[in-house]
Every structure is written in structure tokens, then in C-alpha cells.
Amino acid sequence: MTTNNSHRKVGDALTGFERQITQDRVDAYAEASGDHNPIHLNEEYASTTQFGTRIAHGMLSLALVTEMLASEFPNSWHDGGKLKVRFSAPVFPGEIVTTYGDITAINEEDGQLIVTCTIGCKKPDGTDAVAGRATVPLE
């Protein structure tokens, strides 16, 4: 885990990771979030929707992105971090997604260095499930 961010520079990539979104993970996320919408949990219901099958919560994919940010910036992501994302495509149970991030700017604001990153989570075909931007104070 990185704890000293003084070496950060524009162009650096964040350390992403892969995660298989199993139905067990989706079920656990429903318990964690309280979101028991049948489109995530009930195959019979989900087969009648535009997706034709169950989909993972979009917030589950975003949670993976924030895991990456928390690992990269353990002392500051939860203490001044911001993000803005769009959900571009559904993730289906069984798919392996990959988080990613790149530092695009480091600016000083009120005496504090702020890192700006592109962030996201890609589906197996390379399309974005989630994509956007985060800013994090440098500790």
C-alpha cells in the first residue's frame, strides 16, 4: 500500500485490479446497501427487463473504483476526496471487470496539493462500465 504520495506526477497510472463480479458478490452488495431490487437478484424478473438477465448494482462497480482510490491514497481519499462518474454500461454476473486510473493534473489549492485522476472500471470487452474523474488531496 502506498502511503507516501510525494513522488506522484502527471501521467502516473494508479494500480488497478481485476475482480470477477459473481452473483455472490451482487447478493452481498444487496445486503450491504439494502438495495434488493429484483433486477439484481431475481433472474425470472430480470429476464423481462431490457437487459434480459440480472445485472450488478452500478454502485458495486463504483465501489471497486473507490477501493482503488482508498488503496492509492489511504490517508486522504476519505478525508477530502471527490469523484464524479457516469455509468455507461451494465455489468453482468460472471464478468471480470478491471479498475483503472491515471493522474492528469496536480494543482495547488489553498496551499494543498490536489491530484486529479481519470478513473473507471472496464468490462471484459474494454468498454467502460463506470468512468469519470476524482480529485484527492495529497497527504
Partner 1 sequence: MAVPLISTAVIGHEFGPYDVTIPAERAIAYAKAVGGDESPDYGDSLAPIMVVAAALTELIEDLGLFSGGLQTVHAGQEVSWARPVKIGEKVDAIGRLAANSVRRGNHFATVSVSYKDSTGSEIGTSSTTIIVSGEES
Binding site for partner 1 (CB under 8 A): 1, 15, 17, 19, 24-26, 28-29, 31-35, 37, 49-50, 57-60, 62-64, 66-67, 70-71, 74, 77-87
In whole angstroms, how close is the CB of 37 to partner 1 at the nearest point? 7
In whole angstroms, how close is the CB of 124 to partner 1 at the nearest point? 17
Phi and psi torsions of 115, nearest 5°: -95, 130
Kindly tell me which of 54 and 57 has the beta carbon lying closer to partner 1.
57
Kindly tell me which of 78 and 94 has the beta carbon lying closer to partner 1.
78
Kindly tell me which of 8 and 57 has the beta carbon lying closer to partner 1.
57
CA 99 to chain centre: 6
Bridge partners, residue 41, by sequence: none
Q: Is residue 81 within 8 Å of residue 72, measured between CB atoms? A: no
Distances in Å between the Cα of 15 and the Cα atoms of 28, 39, 100, 125 are 25, 31, 7, 20
